[in-house]
Amino acid sequence: MSRENETSFIALASYSPEEYAKLLRVADDADDMHPTWREWYWESQRMTDQLRGQGYAVLPIFIIVEDLLEFCREHNLPVNSQTRSRFVSELAKRLQGEERPKKRRTTRKKTQEADG
């Protein structure tokens, strides 16, 4: 969870059921996490409702586990809750325009270059 500032929003990590299952397989702190996506989801909803009840805007940041793993490799960080919070915070900053995301090469472009 990342609190960006008083006038913006609180960013919360969010996962599809498939990505949550991947996260459970690679997380260093998997034993401390909810064992199923459904349990994680209900806790996430409870937290979201609580924060909104306190007047905060909440923005779910959907996490792709492979992107998280790349972030961990680039920064030599473990795959744990602290790193996930940092990752979500950085993604939220990008959404606010405080940082420009790196341009990623697409498979399509590589294929076109190979064909051309």
Mapped onto helix, strand or coil, the DSSP state of residue 37 is helix
Q: Are 79 and 33 in contact (CB under 8 A)?
A: no
Q: Are 82 and 28 in contact (CB under 8 A)?
A: no
| pLDDT over 80 at 41, yes or no | yes
Query: How far, in Å, CA of 17 to CA of 14, rounded?
Result: 10
| pLDDT over 90 at 107, yes or no | no
Mapped onto helix, strand or coil, the DSSP state of residue 8 is coil
Break the chain into its structural domains and give their ranges.
2-115
- Range with lowest mean pLDDT among 11-15, 22-26, 75-79, 95-99: 95-99
pLDDT attached to residue 105: 44
- Provide the token pair at 10: 């609180």
**Does this model's pTM top 0.85?**
no
Extended strands (E) in 24-85: 58-62
Give residues with Cβ within 8 angstroms of 48, minimum separation 6: 12, 58, 60
| pLDDT over 80 at 87, yes or no | yes
First to last CA, the chain: 45
pLDDT attached to residue 97: 78
Exposure of 102 in the CB half-sphere (CA atoms within 13 A): 7
Query: How far, in Å, CA of 114 to CA of 95, rounded?
Result: 33
The stretch 15-22 carries a mean pLDDT of 98
The stretch 57-67 carries a mean pLDDT of 96
